[in-house]
Amino acid sequence: MIAADANKCRSTPGDKWSHDIDPMGARRAVQDYLANLDDPAWGRATDVVPKFVAPSDPAAQWTGALRNAAFFAYADNYLIDIKFGIIMDVEASRAIRQSEVGASQTMIERTEKTFGIKPDWLVADTAYGAAQILHFLVDVKGIAPHIPVIDKSQRDDGTFSRDDFIHDEARDQYVCRSGKILPRTRTTRR
């Protein structure tokens, strides 16, 4: 994590923030800054509305990832050849998992394009165990992932686990132990 130079006291709640800034009415430094921001920097790497946005640095992510007082930050991501201990690429991103996953894809593709080097396998922590990056590694790039998969099937927060639902094949619905039907929000294909 890299702390951003942004003040929480001057931040705006994420649901009240609008990135529609008129660059023509801004100072030159702000115009240059806005011209270089890409969509993920504006928060489009995820549909999650941030808790706070810093108008002085809207690309910074409000995070409590260090299990301490929350702050605005960026993440620095490294692609390392662990056999030789060489940093192959570095990519800064917003300090949110979805952005870090995108950064890993960028680094793999950039290293392959720049140096002609593509890893045979990749080691990463659980944050990279999402379907999006696993699909990219296995199906798109042919890279063997050595990554713990994010599994939220067993719950310990008082909500039902996946095993607490029974599939009623006749109605094609899931029913919980109390007999209530689980509403479908999207289609899952296996």
Which has more confidence, 170 or 80?
80
Strands (E), the chain: 2-3, 12-13, 52-53, 61-63, 71-81, 86-94, 121-123, 144-146, 165-168, 173-176, 181-182
The identity of residue 118, as a single letter, is K
Helix %, strand %, coil % of the chain (to 5): 30, 25, 45
Which pLDDT does position 6 carry in this prediction? Answer: 82
* 111-126 pLDDT per residue, tens: 999 999 999 999 988 8
d(CA 96, CA 103): 11
